[in-house]
Chain A
Amino acid sequence: MSAVRAVLFAALVALNIVPALAVQPDEMLKDPVLEERARHLSRELRCMVCQNQSIDDSDAPLARDLRLLVRERLTAGDSDTKVVDFLVSRYGEFVLLKPRFEWRTVLLWGFPPAVVLVGVLLLWITARRRAVEDSPALTSAERNRLATLVEGQNRDGSA
């Protein structure tokens, strides 16, 4: 039993790591407009058994199946959104390389602009605070000292 499993596993591994071409000539659609749409969609869909590869880039058999599926739906007349919706309903959000904006991804999409905004805000606050801190009126002691200095200077000059 375990020997059978080992062989099966080896076969699976071999299937996955033998590189072929990502998009094969026989997969491509005759209609260049549809094919271009298919390529475009493929770049935004993840090959789920790969590490961070789109189905357009991946050599895995699963990616090929998905590419064929995308083309099948497009030929059947589906819009791009419908194709994507179909794939999500079948494979979950995991298939999208660009996650949709929803409550789970608010933090993800909101983070980059938030960092810029917080940065600007912090800069503004620091600038204001420092403007107040760094130009304080002279204390009376300092004013006296300044007066003495100026006086001394004048006396030196007149002498």
Chain B
Amino acid sequence: MIPELGHYALVLALALALVQSIAPIIGARKNDPALMRLASSTAPMQFAFTAFSFAALTACYVLSDFSVANVYQNSHSLMPLIYKFTSTWGNHEGSMLLWVFILSLYGALVALFGANLPAALKANVLAVQSWIASAFYLFILLTSNPFLRLANAPFEGQDLNPILQDVGLAIHPPLLYLGYVGFSIAFSFAVAALIEGRIDAAWARWVRPWTLSAWMALTVGIAMGSYWAYYELGWGGWWFWDPVENASLMPWLAGTALLHSAVVMEKRNALKVWTILLAILAFSLSLIGTFLVRSGVLTSVHTFANDPARGIFILGILILFIGGSLMIFAWRAPLLKQGGLFAPISREGALVFNNLFLVSACATVFIGTLYPLALEALTDEKISVGAPFFNLTFGPLFTPLLLAMPFGPLLAWKRGDLLGAAQRLMVAAALAVVGIAVVYVAEGGHDLTLAPFGIGLALYVMTGAVIDLAERTGLFRLPMRVVRSRANGLPRSAWGTALAHLGIGVTLLGIVCETHWGAERIVALKPSQTVSIHHYELTFDGVIPREGPNYRELAARFSVRHGGVFVGTMEPSKRTYGSRGTTTTEAALMTRGVSQLYLSLGEPNADGSVAVRLYHKPLVLLIWLGAVVMMFGGALSLTDRRLRVGAPQPPRKSPAAAMPVAAK
């Protein structure tokens, strides 16, 4: 009964979505408040129904109801409860249900917290949001129904793919979707603005919290996915330029550009048309990401053509929404009035520079990801575009971006003083030069490329972020008392900017150190033999067989010594999951500060030895910590007073704090 109710709830959500797609727009046209208000009640109802539907599927998983085909294919009665829970979205159908669940959540939040939006704008936004929702409800109901039953219910399920039985991957998809789908709000606001043919600085302020929360979720989501790949796939890489990763990176790049251009629009009423276009692009790239991952087109253009139902459906959605929104854009954008003027050297100019390079980087990922698919579809020729291509093209685009980044916040609006900003960044530049020199000398003077330059750039970016704050608070110039009061008066968004920029530097530092000074040993070891790497010695103590809830594992125990002192043990293992007969490699990690030892197990040999792959990864944790710092920057910015004035209030905030501001 539960799956049928879940299915039915989804049908009801579709019915509501169809009403919400049409009625509010008519209301906005005819200036009928009742019709406009309709969306404010249908949106939360839609959420209630999708939430029910999602809960129903979760219940099927938790109760191990193998009469549901989806549960049978992706679950097992012996699986730990948490993975029963998370396997709800560990498959195609369930993850699409999660997608619409989050979409309707955002819709409901706009309806509930958008009380101070102009009625017509709110109606249009929620209607556009509902167009997207209707398309995806239809997609699920027609091609990817998770509630299908099996005629004869099997006794046992086929288990979840073992590499997905992991906490990291359990949280990764919801975060990623919160990001992807969050951009739908910016998209809906953009299309609504185009429908109305009117847009102003307030629009940017309304959109900003939504874009910011989506961006934060996507940032952490991508970092989480990267960390998962790092420890679970077993060969120590953290970014593979895999199309699936690229699919999440593209919306992130476009979304980052959108955040920056929206600032210009909000403060200076400029870049309006461009910001609208970016809002459309960010969500379009999310849709393309969904298409890439969900249609099977990545495995091969031909498998896609063999089983086309889902792929064609998403492709249809893609064409409808991207093509449709771009057409509305081309038709209506010329109506939007251009705003404030600015000199090329100004805060606005710096943000335009940022947009130019972020969008170019995004375009590079786009062409690199889709070119092989397009070439194969058109000429039947197969080429590969992999990490070496992206490393070569991405670096030159990001370098100017990072060089310019500290300048942005130091330049004034309208007309900035480049020389003045450069003078204030002298300390950062000096530190960078020192860093480059030290690394150059330490490396024996034969390498002036990646490592010294990378370290220099990272130091420059991080110091630049600190200088930004120091300049604003008058640190080192004014008495401490004044500095403190200035720091208190500084808008949270200024702190957020500096923190997010600092995070980029932190990530860069981690990337450079890990890539350049990471050490690797690949050896075959017999028990009691020792392998050493970077002042660490690891002794192979022996093999321990163990039983897990739904797997057997063979762990190898290693004692780790640092300079002769025992610091702990590492136990990498190989797990065999009986139900699927698959084996996974579980790497062992030992964290020392922000560096890590990484040990991964290979095949046992006939002579009793076992192959191991051992890495020392210096400062590797900074790569992901940087992303967390960026997220905190976003969170600080989200709590800025300015965003509460007349804006949809971000969730998680005490009403008391907002009252005096809202009352103004």
Min CB gap A121→B, angstroms: 11
Partner of B386, one of A19, A20, A46, A107: A46
Contact A21 to B613, CB < 8 A, known contacts A54-B387, A104-B381, A112-B393: yes
Q: A108 to chain B: which residues have CB within 8 Å?
A: 367-368, 371, 385, 389
Of B344, B379, B602, most A-chain CB atoms within 10 Å = B602
Q: B639 to chain A: which residues have CB within 8 Å?
A: none
Q: How far is the CA of A123 from the CA of B348 in the complex (A)?
A: 13
Min CB gap B303→A, angstroms: 12
- Chain B 331-375 residues near chain A, CB threshold 8 A: 338, 341, 344, 352, 356-357, 359-360, 363-364, 367-368, 371, 375
Assess whether B243 is in contact with A123, with CB atoms less than 8 Å apart: no
The verdict on B235 contacting chain A, using a C-beta distance below 8 Å, is: yes
Assess whether A14 is in contact with B356, with CB atoms less than 8 Å apart: no
Partner of A95, one of B368, B384, B583: B384
Assess whether B299 is in contact with A46, with CB atoms less than 8 Å apart: no
**Interface 9-residue window, one of A23-31, A71-79, A150-158:** A23-31
Min CB gap A99→B, angstroms: 5
1/0 contact string of B511-542 vs chain A (CB within 8 Å): 00000000000111000000000000000000
The verdict on B600 contacting chain A, using a C-beta distance below 8 Å, is: yes
- Chain A 1-54 residues near chain B, CB threshold 8 A: 14, 17-26, 28, 43-44, 46, 51-54
Q: How far is the CA of A116 from the CA of B358 in the complex (A)?
A: 10
Q: B341 to chain A: which residues have CB within 8 Å?
A: 130, 134
Of B338, B363, B522, B582, most A-chain CB atoms within 10 Å = B522
Which residue of chain B is the closest to A92 with respect to CB atoms? B382
Q: B613 to chain A: which residues have CB within 8 Å?
A: 21-23
Q: How far is the CA of A107 from the CA of B385 in the complex (A)?
A: 13
Q: A22 to chain B: which residues have CB within 8 Å?
A: 235, 613
Contact A94 to B384, CB < 8 A, known contacts A24-B602, A123-B352: yes
Which residue of chain B is the closest to A110 with respect to CB atoms? B367
Q: How far is the CA of A26 from the CA of B612 in the complex (A)?
A: 12
1/0 contact string of A98-124 vs chain B (CB within 8 Å): 110000110110011001100110010
The verdict on B48 contacting chain A, using a C-beta distance below 8 Å, is: no
Assess whether A19 is in contact with B242, with CB atoms less than 8 Å apart: no
Q: B55 to chain A: which residues have CB within 8 Å?
A: none
Q: B389 to chain A: which residues have CB within 8 Å?
A: 97-99, 108
The verdict on A80 contacting chain B, using a C-beta distance below 8 Å, is: no
Contact A19 to B584, CB < 8 A, known contacts A98-B388, A99-B383: yes
Contact A14 to B344, CB < 8 A, known contacts A24-B602, A52-B240: no
Which residue of chain A is the closest to B581 with respect to CB atoms? A14
Assess whether B392 is in contact with A25, with CB atoms less than 8 Å apart: no
Assess whether A127 is in contact with B344, with CB atoms less than 8 Å apart: yes
Q: A123 to chain B: which residues have CB within 8 Å?
A: 352, 356
The verdict on B298 contacting chain A, using a C-beta distance below 8 Å, is: yes
Assess whether B234 is in contact with A19, with CB atoms less than 8 Å apart: yes
Contact A94 to B360, CB < 8 A, known contacts A23-B522, A51-B299, A112-B397: no
Min CB gap B400→A, angstroms: 9
Assess whether A115 is in contact with B582, with CB atoms less than 8 Å apart: no
Q: A130 to chain B: which residues have CB within 8 Å?
A: 338, 341
Q: A134 to chain B: which residues have CB within 8 Å?
A: 341
Q: How far is the CA of A26 from the CA of B524 in the complex (A)?
A: 8
1/0 contact string of B583-614 vs chain A (CB within 8 Å): 11100000000000000111100000001110
Assess whether B385 is in contact with A111, with CB atoms less than 8 Å apart: no
Min CB gap A101→B, angstroms: 11
Min CB gap A39→B, angstroms: 9
Which residue of chain B is the closest to A135 with respect to CB atoms? B341
The verdict on B210 contacting chain A, using a C-beta distance below 8 Å, is: no
Min CB gap A56→B, angstroms: 9
Q: A111 to chain B: which residues have CB within 8 Å?
A: 363-364, 367
Q: How far is the CA of A99 from the CA of B375 in the complex (A)?
A: 12
Assess whether B384 is in contact with A97, with CB atoms less than 8 Å apart: yes
Contact A112 to B364, CB < 8 A, known contacts A23-B522, A25-B523: yes
Assess whether B392 is in contact with A98, with CB atoms less than 8 Å apart: yes
The verdict on B241 contacting chain A, using a C-beta distance below 8 Å, is: yes
Q: B386 to chain A: which residues have CB within 8 Å?
A: 46, 52, 54, 97-98
Assess whether B383 is in contact with A104, with CB atoms less than 8 Å apart: yes
Contact A20 to B602, CB < 8 A, known contacts A93-B382, A96-B383, A108-B368: yes
Assess whether A93 is in contact with B243, with CB atoms less than 8 Å apart: no
Contact A116 to B356, CB < 8 A, known contacts A51-B242, A54-B387, A108-B367: yes
Assess whether B583 is in contact with A116, with CB atoms less than 8 Å apart: no
Assess whether B382 is in contact with A24, with CB atoms less than 8 Å apart: no
Partner of A18, one of B298, B338, B397, B583: B583
Partner of A46, one of B375, B381, B384, B602: B384
Q: B240 to chain A: which residues have CB within 8 Å?
A: 52-53, 57
Q: How far is the CA of A119 from the CA of B400 in the complex (A)?
A: 15
Q: How far is the CA of A18 from the CA of B367 in the complex (A)?
A: 33
Q: B578 to chain A: which residues have CB within 8 Å?
A: none
Partner of B360, one of A17, A21, A112: A112
Q: How far is the CA of A87 from the CA of B298 in the complex (A)?
A: 24
Assess whether A20 is in contact with B235, with CB atoms less than 8 Å apart: no
Partner of A107, one of B235, B367, B523: B367
Assess whether A97 is in contact with B375, with CB atoms less than 8 Å apart: no
Which residue of chain B is the closest to A22 with respect to CB atoms? B235
Q: How far is the CA of A11 from the CA of B582 in the complex (A)?
A: 12
Q: A92 to chain B: which residues have CB within 8 Å?
A: 382
Partner of B359, one of A97, A105, A107, A119: A119
Contact A96 to B384, CB < 8 A, known contacts A21-B600, A25-B524, A116-B360: yes
Assess whether A104 is in contact with B523, with CB atoms less than 8 Å apart: no
Which residue of chain A is the closest to B396 with respect to CB atoms? A112
Which residue of chain A is the closest to B400 with respect to CB atoms? A116
Which residue of chain B is the closest to A108 with respect to CB atoms? B371
The verdict on B420 contacting chain A, using a C-beta distance below 8 Å, is: no
Assess whether B397 is in contact with A99, with CB atoms less than 8 Å apart: no
The verdict on B445 contacting chain A, using a C-beta distance below 8 Å, is: no
1/0 contact string of B235-269 vs chain A (CB within 8 Å): 10100111100000000000000000000000000
Q: B237 to chain A: which residues have CB within 8 Å?
A: 57
Min CB gap B175→A, angstroms: 23
Q: A44 to chain B: which residues have CB within 8 Å?
A: 388
Min CB gap A109→B, angstroms: 8
Contact A25 to B611, CB < 8 A, known contacts A97-B385, A119-B356: yes
Seen from chain B, the residues whose Cβ lies within 8 Å of a Cβ on chain A are 234-235, 237, 240-243, 298-299, 338, 341, 344, 352, 356-357, 359-360, 363-364, 367-368, 371, 375, 379, 381-389, 392-393, 397, 522-524, 581-585, 600-603, 611-613
4 nearest A-B residue pairs (beta carbon): A97-B386, A21-B602, A98-B388, A112-B364
User: What are some 29 contacts across the A-B interface (CB < 8 A)?
Assistant: A21-B235, A21-B522, A21-B602, A21-B611, A24-B611, A25-B611, A28-B522, A43-B387, A43-B388, A51-B242, A51-B299, A52-B240, A52-B243, A52-B386, A53-B240, A54-B386, A93-B382, A93-B383, A97-B384, A97-B385, A97-B386, A97-B389, A108-B367, A111-B363, A111-B367, A112-B397, A116-B397, A119-B359, A130-B341
Known pairs A23-B522, A24-B602, A25-B611; list 11 more (Cβ under 8 Å): A21-B602, A51-B298, A51-B299, A93-B382, A96-B384, A98-B385, A112-B367, A112-B397, A119-B356, A120-B356, A134-B341
